[in-house]
């Protein structure tokens, strides 16, 4: 059964009225899931708080302590021009990271599969010792490290189709041969990484603005799929950012719901072949609430196929 993990605390992260990462994103997803009828085939779970030990598998302990120390009791604290902590942010970030841990456990215990984590703040820009790009903790990295350490897996793959390069995930796993990281992203574009020389476990697909559906699908099929087939992962993780959508003014790749559904179906086929169907998806970007909600539902339907 498809599981969806979230928590009301994720709505309490408030980086300010000007910020693209608003609680309306999750509300739109929940409303669209209900309208689509998927509500009747999804099992819902409340995300736990990630522990310090789980965070410190991928983050510098001193950095984790700094995040805790910076958390305001009221008002907000700006970490950089994009990343803001409000009074509700720390718990939201801990729930976001904890959702991935719970999802891995559910899948490995065969209690649910696949799993989608509807969480915020996102995570894939958070590096080993640095917050940036709306992200405090690298949620997908925390989940992948949990799978490796607690469940004894030896090969996991992370695919990231957010329009922005997942520099944090790459930073954390750059020299980890047990993790294959495949990413597609607009370039040149924030955070202006991912196009440089890479280690063998990093498969980056930089794409020019206005790439469009056909060229996007061709590039991913040529670069990601052979690498995934050769790696034969035991678990497949997805950093699911939907900000490459044509209606999202954060980007210019001009993708649609159909592209996200196509890619999800292809990844599901790989997971069935190599991972016993083990697949966990975590929300990253997507900042037009309507386009995001429709894209997530397309993603969920493909996960159910």
State the catalytic residues: 125
Indicate the length of the chain as a whole number.
305
Residue reference for tokens 């790749």: 253
User: Which ranges in the chain belong to alpha helices (H)?
Assistant: 24-36, 52-55, 61-70, 89-108, 139-151, 167-173, 212-231, 257-274, 289-304
Question: Is 154 exposed, middle or buried (CB count within 10 Å of its CB: 0-12, 13-18, 19+)?
Answer: exposed
The strand pairing partners of 300, in sequence order, are none
Classify residue 212 as left (phi > 0), alpha (psi -120 to 50) or beta. Answer: left
Distance CA 224, CA 266 (A): 11
Name the nearest CA neighbour of 182 among 242, 139, 239: 239
Name the nearest CA neighbour of 285 among 82, 134, 73: 134
DSSP secondary structure letters along 256-300: -HHHHHHHHHHHHHHHHHHSTT-EEEEE----SHHHHHHHHHHHH
Pairing state between β 84-86 and 76-78: antiparallel
């Amino acid at each position: 059964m498809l599981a969806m993990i979230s928590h009301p605390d994720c709505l309490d992260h408030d980086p300010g009225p000007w910020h693209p990462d608003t609680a309306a994103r999750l509300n739109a997803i929940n409303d669209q899931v209900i309208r689509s009828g998927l509500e009747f085939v999804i099992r819902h779970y409340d995300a736990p708080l990630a522990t310090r030990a789980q965070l410190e598998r991928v983050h510098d302990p001193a950095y984790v302590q700094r995040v805790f120390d910076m958390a305001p009791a009221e008002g907000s604290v700006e970490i950089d021009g994009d990343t803001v902590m409000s009074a509700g942010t720390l718990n939201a970030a801990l729930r976001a990271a904890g959702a991935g841990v719970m999802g891995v456990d559910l899948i490995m215990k065969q209690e649910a599969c696949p799993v989608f984590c509807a969480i915020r703040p996102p995570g894939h820009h958070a590096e080993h010792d640095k917050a940036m790009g709306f992200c405090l903790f690298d949620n997908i990295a925390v989940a992948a490290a949990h799978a490796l350490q607690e469940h004894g897996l030896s090969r996991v793959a992370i695919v990231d189709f957010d329009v922005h390069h997942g520099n944090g995930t790459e930073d954390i796993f750059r020299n980890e041969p047990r993790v294959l990281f495949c990413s597609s992203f607009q370039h040149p574009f924030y955070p202006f990484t991912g196009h440089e020389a890479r280690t063998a476990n990093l498969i980056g697909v930089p794409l020019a603005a206005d790439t469009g559906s056909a060229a996007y699908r061709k590039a991913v099929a040529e670069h990601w799929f052979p690498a995934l087939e050769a790696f034969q992962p035991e678990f497949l993780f997805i950093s699911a950012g939907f900000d490459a959508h044509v209606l999202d003014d954060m980007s210019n790749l001009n993708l649609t719901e159909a592209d996200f559904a196509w890619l999800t179906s292809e990844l599901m086929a790989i997971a069935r072949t190599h991972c016993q169907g083990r697949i966990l998806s975590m929300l990253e970007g997507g900042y037009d609430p309507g386009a995001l909600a429709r894209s997530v539902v397309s993603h969920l339907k493909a996960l159910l196929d």
